Amino acid sequence: MSAPTPAPKPIVDEPLPLPRRWGEAELARLTAMVGQSSLFYWKGPQTAALLEEFRRHYPLKHVFPCSSGTASIHIAIAALRLRPGDEVIVPPITDMGSVTGILYQQGVPVFADLEPDTYNLSPAAVRRAITSKTRAILAVHLAGNPCDLTALAAIAREHKISLVEDCAQAWGALWQDRPVGTFGDFGCYSFNDFKHVSCGDGGMVGTNRDDLGEGLARWGDKSYNRVIGGRDPEDLAPNYRMSEPLSAIATAQLTKLPGIVARRRAAGTLLTSLLAGTPGIFTPAVTPGGAHSYWFYMLRLDLARWTVGQAEVAAAFQAEGVACGAGYIPRPVYQYPVFKNHNFFGGAWPARDAGYTTMDYRAVSCPVSEAILRDCVVLRLNEAMTDTYIEKVARALRTVALRLTK
Ligand SMILES: *Cc1c(COP(=O)(O)O)cnc(C)c1O
């Protein structure tokens, strides 16, 4: 009996480096916090510190810290005072939280297709999706890649509709050297566990518009007016408040944002340059004028050139030690069961049943989005990865591509 041949060493021959995300800075804030007499957000010192730190990065006049990214978008949509059947143009590849608030306000998410190389909303597709009922465009900066905000803002201006920026995946991303979330009528952010910066769960919503921003907090605080006090709600609004412990952690996290983003941007940019010319691989494009902040790294496979399919390619990358997966979300959002069955409120969709919309999500088709999900591979990327590690990842991808393309 011969000894088994040892498995060949993978090209990425070290485990995925993981950053230590919380430490002294968070502890110092929490320690100060436990001496407080209240953990309520209104006039809370941790909340005040969070607003100050957030504004150092995002100069927005009116901001409200809230319980999630989903909540931040719901608050923005509610503050726009959508009426039943009003339409919001959204991308098909995003988190469910991008569209939840629209539906809760009895609005209608209208899916427009994406650019094949940035995976962000195509301005031309957005134009085609506009109707007399369109009230807003929800620009999702996917994976940290900024949308073409100049084009989207021009469309919004032209049609007198709002632009809401979903920056949940795009902490630190820039458009023309300014942070995303400061171009549209609202910027919406998430502190969930998986984003660049996190307090476990949390969010932030902000605007520079006084007409939308005065009383912004009420849309996430039961429509109570904390400024004048008393409870006399004028609108229906949930409780989406963020409490002091989470604000304490989020504040400390934001102090680390520039370092986190600088490292991720360098790593993502290096990976793209090292992959140039690799057969069968399309690297993500950054729209000129944008700076990507790489929450993850998504590339596409030119499947006609590969001898195997998407899942096998991802498995071959993994066998060389690359932390990656085939595909991103399993299907475009409009194909999720909740949309296919129009099952928004106990099996019904009041906005459609009452005639405010004729939308049928079973008839929606966005071919570019569907193609992206069929041939994309998502690579893990984080601030603990060194250039040396990224070089190994690139070498692994290139080696597999040379072996498995024709
Ligand atoms: C994470 C995410 C959200 C929702 O954020 P939560 O804090 O998880 O509610 C919304 N949009 C996008 C694009 C996201 O990635």
Query: Domain containing 148 — which CATH number?
Result: 3.40.640.10
Of 197, 226, 256, the one marking the end of a domain is 256
Strands 186-190 and 297-301: unpaired
Between the CA of 319 and the centroid of ligand 1 the distance, in Å, is 30
Q: What tokens appear for 88 in the block?
A: 């919001």
**The pLDDT value given to residue 332:** 98
Q: What is the CA radius of gyration of the chain?
A: 22
Residues 252 and 262 in one domain: no
User: End of a domain among 256, 280, 302?
Assistant: 256
Please report the pLDDT score of residue 344 as a whole number: 98
- Binning pLDDT at 50, 70 and 90, where does residue 6 land? confident
Q: For residue 69, how far is its CA from the centre of ligand 1 (angstroms)? A: 5
Distance 328 CA to ligand 1 centre (A): 14
Q: Do both 50 and 190 map to the same domain?
A: yes
Q: Say if ligand 1 is within 6 A of residue 140 CB.
A: yes
Residues 229 and 377 in one domain: no
Say whether pLDDT at 175 is over 60.
yes
Q: Tell me what percent of the residues of the chain surpass a pLDDT of 70.
A: 99
pLDDT at residue 1 greater than cutoff 60: no
Domain annotation covers residue 344: no
**What is the pTM for the complete model shown?**
0.97
Domain assignment of residue 298, yes or no: yes
Q: Is the pLDDT of residue 10 over 90?
A: yes
Q: Exposure string (b/e) for 39-71, b if CB count within 10 Å is 16 or more?
A: bebeebbbbebbbebbeebbebebbbbbbbbbb
Question: Are 75 and 105 in contact, with CB atoms under 8 Å apart?
Answer: no
Distance 337 CA to ligand 1 centre (A): 19
Do 321 and 190 fall into the same domain? no
145 touches ligand 1 (CB under 6 Å): no
Across the strands, what pairs with 139?
165
Domain count for the chain: 2
Section 163-170 average pLDDT: 98
Q: Are residues 82 and 222 in the same domain?
A: yes
* Ligand 1 atom, smallest distance to 140 CA: 13
Q: What is the DSSP string of 244-307?
A: HHHHHHHHHHHHTHHHHHHHHHHHHHHHHHHHTT-TTEEPPP--TTEE---SSEEEEE-GGGBS
Model pLDDT for residues 393-405, shown as the tens digit of each residue:
999 999 999 999 9
Query: Which residue among 192, 240, 378 has the greatest number of ligand 1 atoms within 8 angstroms of its CB, and so is best to mutate?
Result: 192
Instruction: Characterize the bridge pairing of strands 108-111 and 174-175.
Output: unpaired
- Identify the pLDDT of residue 231: 86
For the chain, the average pLDDT equals 97
Binned at pLDDT 50, 70 and 90, residue 169 comes out as very high
Same domain for 272 and 220: no
pLDDT of residue 2 exceeding 70, the answer is no
Q: Judge whether residue 377 has pLDDT over 80.
A: yes
Q: Residue 74's Cα: distance from chain center in Å?
A: 14
Does the pLDDT value for residue 95 go beyond 60? yes
